[in-house]
Amino acid sequence: MAIKGVSLSVAKGRIITLIGANGAGKSTILSAVSGLLKSWEGEIEFEGTSLKGLDPPSVVKLGISLVPEGRLIFPPLTVMDNLKLGAYTLYRKNEGATAAETLEHVITLFPILSERAKQPAGTLSGGEQQMLAIGRALMAKPRLLLLDEPSMGLAPQIVEKIFQTLIFLRDEGYTILLVEQNARAALQMADRGYVFETGSVVLQGETSELLEDQDVKRAFLGKDYGDFYEERQ
């Protein structure tokens, strides 16, 4: 059993972050919400609708998109084709105009994707692939965006760009549930946080409180990329 007794909520228009050591159950939460893993007990609800037993395509149709750990783009396909695949629910509803409008929004967020549009996605740098993965998820016009370790393996400058984009999306009205090993940066960016340990939530609260908690400081807030927030204040 990967998680047990976990109760959490994600308020509309906020960034909620899950932090904790590897194997604490954070990614399992995202997999359960997105339908990739079936839960044995408990309930998962989104805007009053139960997600229990739904497969991933059904979850996407309800308005939830996942940016998976490791990005999982389609390397042989072009950047543009990867983006269009993210909008498959729109195309199936004959909402091509909406897909085109969403694509313009994604390109505005990540102009490099327009420059690389005809390249095979596998030829992109790690940072560009992460932008593509986020852009692909946004193409479904989600009301809840799930992100699993978006800073993994990226240079500090790219991490800053990714996190600034997430703040921008939050300010635009997106709701975001973020799993992130870079605990300091995640807490400085998010509105509320949950601390996981061996499959359970051991601490929760507004991120301003968690940043000052002595146990959180000792366990998670060493020197990391998140310091760029402090350096710019």
Helix H, strand E, coil C: the string for 83-126 is: HHHHCHHHHHCCCHHHHHHHHHHHHHHCHHHHHCCCCEHHHCCH
Q: Give the whole-angstrom CA distance, residue 59 versus residue 30.
A: 12
| Domain boundary pick from 141, 157, 180 | 141
Strand partners, 145: 65, 176
Structural domain including 86 reads: 72-141
The reported pLDDT for the residue numbered 231 is 44
Count up the domains in the chain and report the number.
2
Strand partners, 177: 16, 146
Indicate whether 42 belongs to any domain: no
In the numeric block, the tokens 């979850």 are attached to: 59
The reported pLDDT for the residue numbered 221 is 72
Same domain, 59 and 151: yes
Say what the pTM is: 0.89
Indicate whether 41 belongs to any domain: no
Q: Give the whole-angstrom CA distance, residue 128 versus residue 183.
A: 22
In the numeric block, the tokens 């997105």 are attached to: 34
In the numeric block, the tokens 């370790």 are attached to: 149
The reported pLDDT for the residue numbered 222 is 59
| Domain boundary pick from 141, 157, 175 | 141
Q: What is the pLDDT along the chain (233 residues), one digit of tens a residue?
A: 888 889 999 999 999 999 998 888 999 999 999 999 988 888 999 999 999 889 999 999 999 999 999 999 999 999 999 999 999 888 888 887 888 999 999 999 999 999 999 999 999 999 999 999 999 999 999 999 999 999 998 999 999 999 999 999 999 999 999 999 888 889 999 999 999 998 999 999 999 999 999 888 887 775 444 444 444 44
